[in-house]
Chain A
Amino acid sequence: MVKVNDEREKVDESFFRFLIEAIKIAFSGSRRYYAWLLGLILIILLGAYSYYYQLKYGFIITGMRDQVSWGLYISNFTFFVGVAASAVMIVIPLYIYNYKEFKHIITFGEYLAVGALIIVMTNVSADIGRIERIFHMFPIVGTPNWPQSLLMWDFIVLIGYLLLNLIIPTYGLYKAYYNSQPRSWIKVLIYISVPWAISIHTVTAFIYSGLSARPFWNSALMAPRFLASAFTSGPALLIIVLLLVRHFRPEFREKISEKAIQTLAQIILIALITNLFFLGSEIYSVGYAQTSHWISLEYLIFGLEHAGKYYGVLVPFFWASLLLNLIAVFVLLYPKTRKNSYSLALACFMVFIGIWLEKGMGLVIPGFVPTPIGEIWEYIPTLMEIMISFAGWALGFLIYTLLIRVTIAIESGELRHLS
């Protein structure tokens, strides 16, 4: 008897059918929706065009050289690992503290991690000099240097995290599509995803903090700082997305409650203040001691003078980041501006840009300046490099758009299986 039931269930709830319907709905929408998709595709094409040149002529087309050997790609990689990790800030309140307000935003958060991971992977792949040899990192066909190399660890945790954040929400939508309840095994995956999210950003921080050659990164505070900034930038982007969903689809104003958004804003506020505190703590320790370890930070904050020449392309980045983050703190602290959708969205935008400046360029580049033998050399990305990197962004946003299009369709009842 039981067996028969099982089989009937399987026939009824075909995952394949769900997938087909989901893909159909993902590519249907208003004219504005198509314009958005087309815009993203155009950016991707521009990036692909530039990437062709990078493949053909090598990294000479980028602004990187031996002095600063990681640039915009690795900056964006680092930043978006943080955005991806922040999905945990919705999972923890919902599944551990049973905070019901997050029930309808969880899928948006988990899929945001997927989109962010696409940006992570495209950017880190763009930084590989011989991409055709990437299989050298894989077991059996390659020789992965695991557990020694943190890049191997990162590769493993990022793949795992991508799978978790694809499977968990997709399974939820699939069940919702057939109006049935998710099985409890999915809970296991959800609980695994909590430490896993922490791990992806910790491991990413360890890539940097384990290097004695680079005093600027060689700090025990690196991983905590990474997490604090992640829990700022990720929820900030999510709030913007949720506000947009509420704006374009008024029927979501109840599901995506004001309370849920306000809780997210509080999370951002706490993480933002923690992050600023960590930053201050880091600046103090090396700044007060004035050892040679201070020099990279000095380059970032004030710029350096050497042989009569001033070097300081990153100085505006640092101050803009600090200013944006500080203004955002006050906008989020003051209840009236926090509760107004427009000022909240603006604060979230400032936080997102502020953390991008701090964690992207502001973290990766100064680690290389000065070089280990004392050269001060300024890195400026080339247009082609920017196009390649931002094509990664566009691909991430494109996939995220398609995923939340399906989410919206199912959550609103627009797409349901009729039987």
Chain B
Amino acid sequence: MKDSRRNFIKKIAMLGFSPLAFKIPVIDVSFEELMQKHFKEMSEEEKREVIERLEREYKEKYGIDVKIKTTPAKEGVVWGYALNIQKCIGCRRCVYACVKENNQSRGSKNDPTIPAIQWIRVIRVEKAKLNPETKAKADFRVGFGEVRAGIDIEVTEHYYSPDKVPEKDYFYIPIQCQQCERPPCVKVCPTKATWKEPDGIIVIDYNWCIGCRYCMAACPYWARHFNWTEPYIEAEEINTNMHYLGNRLRMKGVVEKCTFCIQRTREGRFPACVEICPVGARKFGNLLDPESEIRKILESKRVFRLKEEAGTQPKFFYFMD
């Protein structure tokens, strides 16, 4: 009964008569889209309907066939990430592999007002240099004040562009979503549009986000990015292997972020950034599996996390050999 009714509505929708298909002018949003529930409150059937709609819309807009998955988290898995800053050469291959994999806005060649979005930012840090000055600069600063020793991520550069990497006087720290165990972004979201999945990944329902950007203010890692306008991507560049909570195409006015390539990792593949890294600086695995490489690293290497004082408990670790 219910099924036939849905089919009926669908038929009408195909004819273009359905009130659900009516699009609100200016913002260009159909009632069907507007009436959609929060992802976690959808039944399997409702999920299927939403996915069908999205696949239909992408087909209309880009002429491509996509497959949007909703693969749930596997039990007994909590993903963790470790990055060897001793090995990282700052080549940014991870940045571009991520953009390609996750369908971020590319930044249009024709329209400079469309900004490119990158989920990984590599910051360049000056290696510790000690240049004591003979003359005191101020009364209580006796010349050692300008020493850059170690990581001072408040005075760094993420727009570096040398001819060749690595550079002699620098080291590099790629930063992306740290998949915090205590994520401040989730805490502040007024609509529960972002949450922590059972496998520890922080995801966003792009259709539930209201775009208030409170999460961006709350994130200590600058991991969240806003679609300041309609994202721009060429049809042939779209990665058609999509996850609803991951790399499906976004719309203007919503926030997005790294999901550890949820569309890959939930099917047993590595994130794109891990795969591309030419020096093997990036390691990924199940934190609950004592035999995993990530656990071995945490046990045997010198490991640290960024901004521990923020109280976020990241599952993204940095280490040195």
A, B from the same assembly: yes
**Chain A residues in contact with chain B, CB under 8 A?**
52, 55-60, 64-66, 69-70, 127-134, 136-137, 142-145, 148-152, 155, 207, 210-214, 292, 295, 306-307, 367-368, 370-375
Q: Inside 8 A of B285's CB, which chain A residues have their CB?
A: none
Q: Is the CB of B113 within 8 A of A60?
A: yes
Once A60-B114, A370-B154 are accepted as A-B contacts, the answer to whether A65 and B311 lie under 8 Å apart by CB is no
Interface residues of B in 132-186 (CB under 8 A from A): 152-158, 175, 184
Complex alpha-carbon distance, A55 and B27, angstroms: 6
Q: Inside 8 A of B154's CB, which chain A residues have their CB?
A: 292, 295, 370, 374
Q: Is the CB of A130 within 8 A of B158?
A: no
Q: Inside 8 A of A155's CB, which chain B residues have their CB?
A: 190
CB-nearest residue of chain B to A53? B26
CB B144 to nearest CB in A, in angstroms, measures 14
Q: Inside 8 A of A65's CB, which chain B residues have their CB?
A: 115, 228
The 8 Å CB contact of B190, one of A60, A137, A375, is A137
The 8 Å CB contact of B158, one of A150, A212, A375, is A375
Q: Is the CB of B175 within 8 A of A58?
A: no
Complex alpha-carbon distance, A132 and B121, angstroms: 32
Complex alpha-carbon distance, A262 and B175, angstroms: 56
The binding surface of chain B is classed by DSSP as: loop
New contact pairs (4) apart from A69-B213, A145-B190, A368-B217, CB-CB < 8 Å: A128-B211, A133-B208, A207-B214, A370-B154
Q: Is the CB of B121 within 8 A of A373?
A: yes
User: Which of B41, B113, B311 has the most chain A CB atoms inside 10 A of its CB?
Assistant: B113
CB A213 to nearest CB in B, in angstroms, measures 4
Q: Inside 8 A of A213's CB, which chain B residues have their CB?
A: 184, 217-221, 310
Q: Is the CB of A214 within 8 A of B158?
A: no
User: Which of B187, B208, B222 has the most chain A CB atoms inside 10 A of its CB?
Assistant: B222
Interface residues of B in 21-42 (CB under 8 A from A): 24, 26-27, 29, 34, 38, 41
CB-nearest residue of chain B to A65? B228
CB-nearest residue of chain A to B221? A372
User: Which of A60, A210, A292 has the most chain B CB atoms inside 10 A of its CB?
Assistant: A60
Q: Is the CB of B253 within 8 A of A129?
A: yes
Q: What are 6 inter-chain pairs, A to B, with CB distance below 8 A?
A: A60-B113, A66-B228, A130-B211, A132-B34, A213-B184, A372-B153
Q: Is the CB of A69 within 8 A of B226?
A: yes
How many residues does chain B have at the interface if contact means C-beta atoms less than 8 Å apart?
56
CB B30 to nearest CB in A, in angstroms, measures 11
B254 at the interface (CB under 8 A from A): yes
Once A58-B227, A59-B226 are accepted as A-B contacts, the answer to whether A373 and B184 lie under 8 Å apart by CB is no
Q: Is the CB of A127 within 8 A of B115?
A: no
Interface residues of B in 235-270 (CB under 8 A from A): 252-254
Q: Is the CB of A136 within 8 A of B123?
A: no
CB-nearest residue of chain A to B216? A69
Q: Inside 8 A of B191's CB, which chain A residues have their CB?
A: 133, 136-137, 142-145
CB B300 to nearest CB in A, in angstroms, measures 28
Q: Is the CB of B228 within 8 A of A212?
A: no
Complex alpha-carbon distance, A307 and B156, angstroms: 10
B272 at the interface (CB under 8 A from A): no
The 8 Å CB contact of B218, one of A211, A370, A371, is A211
Once A58-B230, A151-B214, A372-B219 are accepted as A-B contacts, the answer to whether A212 and B309 lie under 8 Å apart by CB is yes
CB A288 to nearest CB in B, in angstroms, measures 11
Please provide the 7 A-B residue pairs with the shortest distance between their CB atoms, ordered closest to farther. Answer: A129-B211, A129-B253, A213-B220, A60-B229, A58-B252, A58-B229, A151-B190
Q: Is the CB of B229 within 8 A of A57?
A: yes
Q: Is the CB of A149 within 8 A of B190?
A: yes
CB A60 to nearest CB in B, in angstroms, measures 4
B210 at the interface (CB under 8 A from A): yes
Complex alpha-carbon distance, A65 and B211, angstroms: 13
Once A59-B229, A367-B217 are accepted as A-B contacts, the answer to whether A129 and B210 lie under 8 Å apart by CB is yes
Q: Is the CB of B217 within 8 A of A144?
A: no
B67 at the interface (CB under 8 A from A): no
The 8 Å CB contact of B26, one of A56, A307, A373, is A56
Complex alpha-carbon distance, A184 and B41, angstroms: 46
Complex alpha-carbon distance, A213 and B307, angstroms: 9
Q: Inside 8 A of B34's CB, which chain A residues have their CB?
A: 132-133
Once A59-B228, A66-B226 are accepted as A-B contacts, the answer to whether A128 and B210 lie under 8 Å apart by CB is yes
B193 at the interface (CB under 8 A from A): yes
Q: Is the CB of A128 within 8 A of B212?
A: yes
Complex alpha-carbon distance, A207 and B219, angstroms: 13
B188 at the interface (CB under 8 A from A): yes
CB-nearest residue of chain A to B29? A132
Q: Is the CB of A373 within 8 A of B175?
A: yes
CB A130 to nearest CB in B, in angstroms, measures 5
Q: Is the CB of A373 within 8 A of B123?
A: yes
The 8 Å CB contact of A132, one of B27, B152, B187, B192, is B27
B209 at the interface (CB under 8 A from A): yes
Q: Inside 8 A of A142's CB, which chain B residues have their CB?
A: 38, 191
Complex alpha-carbon distance, A207 and B187, angstroms: 11
Q: Is the CB of A143 within 8 A of B192?
A: yes
Once A128-B212, A132-B34, A144-B190 are accepted as A-B contacts, the answer to whether A55 and B26 lie under 8 Å apart by CB is yes
CB A189 to nearest CB in B, in angstroms, measures 27
